[in-house]
Amino acid sequence: MKISARNVFRGKISALVNAAVNAEIELILAGGDKIVAIITEESVKSLGLAVGMEALAYVKAPWVMLLAGPANMKFSARNQLTGKVSQVTKGAVNSEVAITLAGGTIVYAVVTNEAVLELGLKEGSEASALIKASQVILGLPA
């Protein structure tokens, strides 16, 4: 299956916390980084999710917020992933920023060119990707 989401993370479900309406699922990626998703209990049941299963987490690049430097402040976004900017591709209005995490995972964000300048984002600089858990879509590998 092909998908338009720029970020596709493959990992193993390391934790699953069920609740009345939503569940919290934590994926451990190959390099050790973690992604947390909040999905409905109905989705957990229909996908048959369980700890130890492989799963895919999808996040569209425009949903990723960026922070220059490490995420050393408190945010409501559950996913705070710090790494180094590995590429900045400038467009007419927006830029795509790639951040390579310590474990090797790459997170892509699409932000305005103005934001790239204001944050001082350039190859080699430290940056953090902030992703709300409710914006992570889970799927199963085919």
- Domains located in the chain, CATH noted: 7-59+133-139 (2.40.50.100), 61-131 (2.40.50.100)
Burial class (CB in 10 A: 0-12, 13-18, 19+), 72: exposed
Tokens of 62: 């425009």
CA distance 80 to 131: 7
Q: What is the block-wise mean pLDDT of the chain (142 residues), using blocks of 10 residues?
A: 92 96 96 96 96 98 92 86 96 98 96 97 96 97 86
* Model confidence, pTM: 0.93
